[in-house]
């Protein structure tokens, strides 16, 4: 596996692969890799001849008071896992490589989709995500890019961005990788105490409860959201949101919507956990 840090050297290697007729997959990450990340790489390998994994803790998607400085940086351990996974290239750029002119003045901002769910409490977050991913797309120019469905809103925004900016890239959503007890794998799970870790799967269990209620005919989604949020709080979660949303627009779902995402974000001790599930209702 090659470990590259500069934009020009990545472009040169990708050009060689193109000349040889290879297809290219990209898996963008912020590092501190776990088995969920490796599942994304396996998905990329299913579709492409060569796989590039980027590791970049992007400062522009962290807001004031968020954990940019504390975010785990484990490049050596990550590189070892990528070698074992058979990844061809680890692209680990510096901040200066990704933002060569210093403070950014050019942004990619997907209207509306970033206003709901996590975007409501994290203004500017998805603008930072869309901007840095567009840079990675321009650098690597992959045929396929793979993202986890755990970050449902991020995937929806990036799909819209790629379609509207005419990136010739197929975006693939990989199913959320979970621990045996149902907890969605996340780099932030390592911040959970032993007691918190035992309680954390309740987030997914509450989403399953909400889905069953909807499947059984519940259509007062605002009341359902409130019940789930109150129950999570009673179990020690500091709830940011619980929402039943239209899976396309991410706006709060109406009774007539058929494609839904049920999503939640809540702090449990230090880390902020997110999770979601989708469901399709039969035509009325």
**Cα gap 40→47, rounded to integer Å:** 11
Beta-carbon contacts of 34 under 8 Å, excluding residues fewer than 6 positions away, are: 177, 185, 186, 187, 189
Which residues have a catalytic role annotated?
A: 37
């Amino acid at each position: 596996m090659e470990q590259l840090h500069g934009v020009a050297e990545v472009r040169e290697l990708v050009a060689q692969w193109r000349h040889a007729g290879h297809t290219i997959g990209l898996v963008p990450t912020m590092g501190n890799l776990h088995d969920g990340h490796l599942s994304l790489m396996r998905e990329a390998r299913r579709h492409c001849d060569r796989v590039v994994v980027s590791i970049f803790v992007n400062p522009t998607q962290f807001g004031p008071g968020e954990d940019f400085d504390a975010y785990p940086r484990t490049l050596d351990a990550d590189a070892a896992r990528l070698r074992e996974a058979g990844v061809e290239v680890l692209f680990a750029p510096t901040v200066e490589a990704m933002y060569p002119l210093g403070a950014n003045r050019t942004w990619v901002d997907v209207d509306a989709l970033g206003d709901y769910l996590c975007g409501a409490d994290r203004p500017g977050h998805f603008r930072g995500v869309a901007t840095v991913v567009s840079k990675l797309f321009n650098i690597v120019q992959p045929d396929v890019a793979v993202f986890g469905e755990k970050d449902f809103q991020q995937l929806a925004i990036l799909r819209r961005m790629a379609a509207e900016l005419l990136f010739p890239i197929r975006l693939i959503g990989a199913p959320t990788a979970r621990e045996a007890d149902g907890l969605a794998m996340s780099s932030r799970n390592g911040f959970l105490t032993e007691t918190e870790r035992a309680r954390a799967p309740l987030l997914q269990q509450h989403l399953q409860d909400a889905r069953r209620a909807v499947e059984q005919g519940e259509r007062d989604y605002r009341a359902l959201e409130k019940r789930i949020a109150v129950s999570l709080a009673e179990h020690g979660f500091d709830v940011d949101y619980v929402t039943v949303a239209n899976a396309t627009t991410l706006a709060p779902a109406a009774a007539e919507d058929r494609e839904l995402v049920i999503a939640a974000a809540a702090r449990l001790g230090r880390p902020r956990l997110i999770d979601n599930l989708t469901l399709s209702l039969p035509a009325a």
